[in-house]
Amino acid sequence: MAYLNSLEEANQIIPSVLDEIKTEIAPLLNKGKVANYIPELGKVDPMKFGMAVRLLDGTTYQIGDSQTNFSVQSISKVFSLTKAFGVLKDDLWKRVGKEPSGNPFNSLIQLENENGKPRNPFINAGAIVVADVICSHYDEPLNTILDFIRELANNKQLKMNIGVLQSEKKFGNRNAALAHFMKSYDNIESDVNEVLDCYFGHCSMEMNCVDLATAFLFLSNHGVHPISGKKYLSASQAKRLNALLLTCGTYDSAGEFAFKVGMPGKSGVGGGIVAIIPGLLSVSVWSPGLDKHGNSLAGTKALELFTTKTAVSIF
Ligand code: GLN
Expressed in angstroms and rounded, the spacing between residue 268 Cα and the centre of ligand 1 is 7
Round to whole Å and give the CA distance between 241 and 21: 28
Residue 1 above 90 pLDDT? no
pLDDT tens readout for residues 197-241? 999 999 999 999 999 999 999 999 999 999 999 999 999 999 999
Q: Is any ligand 1 atom within 6 A of the Cβ of residue 268?
A: yes
Binding site membership of 106 for ligand 1 (Cβ less than 6 Å) = yes
- Per-residue confidence at 2, pLDDT binned at 50, 70, 90? low
- The residue ranking higher by pLDDT, 103 or 307, is 307
Q: What would the pLDDT profile of 140-175 be if each residue is shown by its tens digit?
A: 999 999 999 999 999 999 999 999 999 999 999 999
| Cβ neighbours for 315, distance < 8 A, ≥ 6 positions apart | 262
Instruction: State the Cα–Cα distance between residues 172 and 192, nearest whole angstrom.
Output: 13
Atom of ligand 1 nearest to the CA of 106: 10
Tell me how far apart the alpha carbons of residues 280 and 272 are, in angstroms, rounded to a whole number.
20
Q: Which pLDDT band holds residue 70 (cuts at 50, 70, 90)?
A: very high
d(CA 100, CA 264): 13
Model pLDDT for residues 239-254, shown as the tens digit of each residue:
999 999 999 999 999 9
Mean of the per-residue pLDDT values of the chain = 96
Closest atom, ligand 1, to C-alpha of 38: 10
pLDDT, tens digit (0-9, with 9 covering 90-100), for 273-282 = 999 999 999 9
* Cα 4 to middle of ligand 1, angstroms: 34
Can you give the pTM of this predicted structure?
Answer: 0.97
Mutate to test the pocket of ligand 1, among 81, 105, 175 (most ligand atoms within 8 A of CB): 105
